[in-house]
Amino acid sequence: MLYAIIATDVANSLDNRLAARPAHLARLEQLKTEGRLILAGPHPAVDSNDPGAAGFTGSLVVAEFDSLAAAESWAAADPYRTAGVYGEVQVKPFKLVLP
């Protein structure tokens, strides 16, 4: 089943986010290689693809996992979480309708 991982950054997370980004992307690449990643990306803090020093307010990942518990476990081990980038993370079942 698909699950949406909806994460919210803590204030002033940009430096920690940049430091943890390579490890974060490596985990997403693994999901992609396994054919389980539907989409992933950050929420810019301003209306721009390149928010610069404004940074990001969180992230969204939609991927396939065997269970809600498996998705929660994967999200808990995210380098952004362990680096203190994320203050809150929600994991919810997701039903893809379109496209």
Residue range 37-74, pLDDT digits in tens:
999 999 999 999 999 999 999 999 999 999 999 999 99
Please tell me the distance from the alpha carbon of residue 40 to that of residue 32, in angstroms, as a whole number: 10
What backbone phi and psi angles, to 5 degrees, belong to 75?
Answer: -65, -40
CATH class of 2-94: alpha beta
AA letter at 26:
A
Residue range 3-24, pLDDT digits in tens:
999 999 999 999 999 999 999 9
Task: Tell me what pLDDT residue 64 has.
Answer: 98
Q: Which one, of 27, 31, 24, lies nearest residue 66 by Cα?
A: 31
Q: Could you identify the residue written with the tokens 């994460």? A: 7
Q: Could you identify the residue written with the tokens 């992230």? A: 59
Task: Tell me what pLDDT residue 40 has.
Answer: 98
Indicate the domain borders of the chain.
2-94
Name the DSSP letter for residue 80. H
